[in-house]
Amino acid sequence: MKKLVETDRWNIVENEFRPRRQRDMESIFALGNGHMGQRANFEETYSGNSLQGNYLAGVYYPDKTRVGWWKNGYPEYFAKVINAPAWIGVRIRIGGEELDLARGKVEEFTRILHMHEGYLERKYRLTLPDGKKISARVIRFLSITEPEAGAIKYTVTPENFDGKMDIGLDIDGDVRNEDANYREKFWEPVHPEINIPEAFLVMKTKKLGFYICTGIHGEVLIGGKPCPASPHPVLKEKYVSLHYRCEVKRNQPVTVVKYGCQPTSLNHTPEEILEAAGKVLKRCVSKGFDRMLSEQAEAWQRKWETSDIVIEGDDEAQQGIRFNIFQLNQTYTGDDERLNIGPKGFTGEKYGGSTYWDTEAFCFPFYLSTSDQKVARNLLLYRYKHLQKAIENAVKLGFCGGAALYPMVTMNGEECHNEWEITFEEIHRNGAIAYAIYHYIRYTGDNQYLADFGLEVLIAISRFWAQRVNFSEPHQKYVILGVTGPNEYENNVNNNWYTNTIAVWCLSYTLSAIDFVRKEHAGRYRQVVEKTGFREKEETARWKEIIENMYFPYDEEKGVFIQQDGYLDKEQMTAANLDPAIRPLNQHWSWDRILRSCFIKQADVLQGLFFLEDQYDTEIIRRNFDFYEPRTVHESSLSPCVHSVLAARIGYEQKAYELYLRTARLDLDDYNKEVAEGLHITSMAGTWMAIVLGFGGMRTREGRIFFHPMIPDKWEKYSFYVRFRESLLQVTVSRKDVIIANKSQVGVKISVYSQEEWLSADETKVFPVK
């Protein structure tokens, strides 16, 4: 199979123009800065197959639910991060001929995503239908230091002609979402304005009334000097443009510099949004393109200093992990507790751009270990501030008494997923919310968070579990019926082992949290009791009874936890028995056939062993891994990473590496044949986990950080950074030794292969590999 991109340690490189792969490349070369993001659409006109995409964090539309059979409890809408007005347009006509790579002959083509510096570059040579030849170089970035802004430098050089060149720098607000349920457009025009050399378009969303102001500032240089002709303004209802007409000469470059900005009403009032856009543009223009690009490189350098992973001896693995870290860092910055991480980030429309349980289960560890502590804290606060909505979600499904069911999919805390087997049944998501609180406090030591915010969430989640179970007379145990576990190739099952296990864990952790807050923060505890109407004696007695009497399916002969009741009644096969031509199964088999099969989409029992590994010994983990992994088809992007970590934990080095490479290059190699729809942003954090938690063996317990590293055969050396409490550690693993360097001014206790040491500020220690 021909690779989509060239192998390069720091860059993503495409050296061939492939129109049939254009949508794939638009995903892979996407840009973002936490505030906004763009697919790698061409700036000039492109009449070929393309998915236009420009997205703004937190700006969404409640698209009315479209289902064939309405069921009580369904959400009324599906929240979608919507395609926003496009500001990147640089429309070029040469002698009346539109510059369009789909219509001319592309002689040369290169596209490079410079991950170290954070910008996209494209170079090409084109012969137009009338025989005119041009060469072009385009640089574009979304600013980290000016998060509401981006900039483009587009240089076109005529190679064999003199003549007229028309250049239009536009804002196009007449955009739509390809996945709109009813084909409607989500934007209404408010106010267009042109003050040469600037243009603005204020628009608002239908229904929710988010305002944005898209602003541009244009400059055109011919041979390094300003174009003598002033631009002609073009104003339409949803469109503004600055139109330049230039006389150009052979081999004389024409350079367009275009600054764009998109402030939103999340941060500005509708009345001041136009003025805010003007101020952003003024700052950008005063700095100039080169300085902004330099600041961009410096900002990215700071990000890489605490999040980079270096792999020596395996360039494909190196490229994969850096690509994933780059996308994670440009999707979410943690500056705004109102924002979260969509499964596709800013790279496509699928999944609506909304928040799933992926954040807590997969993304949270990355941001916790590579960013300032406030970043992970803001992810938790996002859920805390949605607690009342989670309680309302539970009420809609018939629960009461302050029970909370966090949404499977959300933008504002309200459930907006409209598939019954997910909305009603995939309730294990509550466990991920609780686990993230536990993980954060264990990692940071920020017990104050538990008192201030966490306990309220835990009580509400535990109330849900207490109502969701029922007592089974035949089993003489509590059971949980009618659920979907993490393996979404099973629906409406009884006693999913993971769901039952995480429910009991939540109840147990809530009991310990209550005890801690009552003793250490008595005043705050009384406030929580009053606010939530918590009846401690009565409610905790019920929780303890459930903990002590929960049913867990288990097979004595095989020594494994059973995924759910009846799983072993299925015809037992392994994924190795499947014809590769019918993979992925969800694109070839009927849903009926999938549900009747034993094949597993992603970690289910193994997800529980991953989260709660401290409760199980190595042999239990190994037996369950040996049984379930061969039956797993890894057709969720979230699957390989969990299996890779567990494989490393039980010493399956080759399997750990195989699964790591799959998760690291999932999108770069388009394993699931769907990268055109957008990147798998949340699963990218799993790649980081596969190295740091898997090969690095990093764990945290009782205020200490532990490492038990291994190194894949193909690698000569690897290194990674982790922040722990107030320290920054660099861990380097070779075949000979493990080097831990404290890059901070705060000492920390570490354990390497069970050897405990104190690592002082700026100190480095070396340990032999075991």
State how far the Cα of 657 lies from the Cα of 688, in Å rounded to an integer: 13
Residue 405: name the closest of 354, 471, 357 by CA.
Answer: 357
**Are β-strands 163-172 and 239-248 bridged in parallel, bridged antiparallel, or unpaired?**
antiparallel
| Residues 6 or more apart whose Cβ sits within 8 Å of residue 409 | 78, 79, 351, 352, 354, 355, 356, 415, 416, 417, 422
> Are 707 and 751 within 8 A, CB to CB?
yes
**Are β-strands 748-752 and 704-707 bridged in parallel, bridged antiparallel, or unpaired?**
parallel
Residue 329, H or E segment: helix 315-331
Please name the residue ranges forming H helices in 488-576. 497-520, 522-532, 536-548
**530 given a catalytic annotation:** no
State how far the Cα of 563 lies from the Cα of 554, in Å rounded to an integer: 9
| Residues 6 or more apart whose Cβ sits within 8 Å of residue 320 | 661, 664, 665, 668, 687
CA atoms within 13 A of residue 32's CA, in its CB half-sphere: 32
**Are β-strands 105-114 and 699-701 bridged in parallel, bridged antiparallel, or unpaired?**
unpaired
Residue 246: name the closest of 222, 223, 217 by CA.
Answer: 222
> Are 90 and 256 within 8 A, CB to CB?
yes
State how far the Cα of 423 lies from the Cα of 417, in Å rounded to an integer: 6
Token output for 474: 């035949």
Catalytic residue, from 121, 425, 488, 677: name it: 488
Question: For residue 630, is the peptide bond before it cis, meaning its omega torsion is within 30 degrees of 0?
Answer: no
Instruction: Report the sign of the C-alpha dihedral through residues 10, 305, 143, 679, in that order.
Output: positive
| Residues 6 or more apart whose Cβ sits within 8 Å of residue 271 | none
State how far the Cα of 606 lies from the Cα of 643, in Å rounded to an integer: 7
State how far the Cα of 585 lies from the Cα of 602, in Å rounded to an integer: 13
**Are β-strands 225-226 and 211-222 bridged in parallel, bridged antiparallel, or unpaired?**
antiparallel
Full 3-state SS string of 169-190: EEEECCCCCCCCCCCCCCEEEE
Q: 287-312 burial by CB neighbour count: b if 16+ within 10 A, else e?
A: bebeebbeebeeebeebbebbbbebe
DSSP 577: G
What's at 46, amino acid-wise?
A: Y
DSSP 676: G
| Residue that is written with structure tokens 């859920």 in the block | 383
Q: Phi first, then psi: what are they for 58, rounded to 5°? A: 85, -5
| Residue that is written with structure tokens 């991480």 in the block | 341
> Are 340 and 363 within 8 A, CB to CB?
no
Token output for 498: 């993971």
Q: Report how far apart, in Å, the C-alpha atoms of 592 and of each of 550, 588, 589, 602, 764 are.
A: 30, 12, 8, 18, 57
| Residue that is written with structure tokens 């905790």 in the block | 540
| Residues 6 or more apart whose Cβ sits within 8 Å of residue 180 | 63, 80, 186
Residue 238: name the closest of 149, 183, 175 by CA.
Answer: 175
Adjacent-strand bridge partners of 737: 768
Cβ count within 10 A of residue 642: 31
> Are 56 and 261 within 8 A, CB to CB?
no
| Residues 6 or more apart whose Cβ sits within 8 Å of residue 254 | 155, 156, 157, 158, 165, 167, 220, 221, 222, 246, 248
Active site residues: 488
